[in-house]
Amino acid sequence: MQRFVMTGDYHTHTFYSDGTSSIEDNVIVAIEQGLKEIGITDHGFNHVSGGIKRTDIPKMREEINNLQQKYPQIKILLGIEANLLNYNGDVDLTEDDIKSLDYVILGIHKLTFGKGVKGSFRFNLRNFFWDTLKHRRKITQSYIKAMERYPIKVIVHPNYATGCDVAGLAKACAEKGVLIEFNGKRIYFDDQEMQTLIDSDAKFIIGSDAHRATNVGKCMLQYEFLKNYNFPLDRIVNIKYNE
């Protein structure tokens, strides 16, 4: 399989959530890595240990506007890694939040404040302990409902925190034009799921999920993994071949 590098990294964290670097640190590494675009996607508001505050959004936007002037060679985007909150497809975003952001990526995380204590408790508990086929189907339906209600660009790290029906998710993502992420921190698909993804019509994206700037734009883990499957690289939207 041809070697590749990323052209844009649309999944990076800063110290506004649980990362350890500043937005500028991420931008500098992105430029060093030769990226054309970088997205800052800190954790959404209902993430228990690392969610940003709504008042951070205007601060982050102002910082990005200033950095954009300082570093015109790269496009800097403000996104968010929103949280799927329950089986109904509720996501921790309001209309106003969406308007103030450039894009949204969506994931499930281990502990989120849901809608109401009871619903949230049950959802989190099931994600921890009831990884059944029925649960996975419900999770997938929930992703689909969320995609219908919110302008989601990417489903990040499917199968993290709780499993899903990868075939059902890939079909829905293909229909709705939502990308499926290969995550830079860990691999979340087994052999059978990889075959399902290859056989689907879905498109993919690589995200570093960098929690410190040094990891921005790096995709060695995904390269080594995808090589095993001779993955069709033309279906990954943010890479170019490294001659």
CB of 183 to Zn ion, least distance (A): 8
Residue choice 19, 89, 107, 158 for contact with Zn ion (CB under 5 A): 107
CB of 162 to Zn ion, least distance (A): 12
- Please say which residue, 44 or 89, places its beta carbon nearer to Zn ion: 44
For residues 54 to 93, the per-residue mask of contacts with Zn ion, x marking binding by CB under 5 A and - elsewhere, is: ---------------------------x------------
- Please say which residue, 89 or 107, places its beta carbon nearer to Zn ion: 107
- Residues with Cβ within 8 Å of residue 133, at least 6 apart in sequence: none
Tokens of 79: 């996104």
- Please say which residue, 155 or 170, places its beta carbon nearer to Zn ion: 155
- Please say which residue, 193 or 209, places its beta carbon nearer to Zn ion: 209
**Mapping DSSP to helix (H, G, I), strand (E, B) and coil, where does residue 41 land?**
coil
Query: Is residue 38 within 8 Å of residue 26, measured between CB atoms?
Result: yes
For residues 193 to 222, the per-residue mask of contacts with Zn ion, x marking binding by CB under 5 A and - elsewhere, is: ----------------x-------------
Provide the CB-side half-sphere exposure for 185 (13 A, CA): 12
Stretch that binds Zn ion, among 103-111, 115-123, 140-148, 198-206 (CB under 5 A): 103-111
CB of 208 to Zn ion, least distance (A): 9
DSSP for residue 93: -
- Please say which residue, 113 or 229, places its beta carbon nearer to Zn ion: 113
C-alpha closest to that of 122 among 179, 178, 162? 162
Judged by phi (left if over 0) then psi (alpha if -120 to 50, else beta), residue 40 lies in: beta
CB of 105 to Zn ion, least distance (A): 8
Helices (H), the chain: 23-32, 56-70, 95-99, 117-129, 133-149, 166-176, 191-199, 220-228
- Please say which residue, 133 or 219, places its beta carbon nearer to Zn ion: 219
CB of 17 to Zn ion, least distance (A): 8
CB of 210 to Zn ion, least distance (A): 8
Binding residues with Zn ion: total (CB under 5 A): 3
DSSP string, 112-175: B--SSHHHHHHHHHHHHH---HHHHHHHHHHHHHHHHHS-EEEE-STTSSS---HHHHHHHHHH
CA–CA dist 208, 12 (Å, integer): 7
Q: How many CB atoms lie within 10 A of CB 64?
A: 18
CB of 130 to Zn ion, least distance (A): 21
Binding site for Zn ion (CB under 5 A): 81, 107, 209
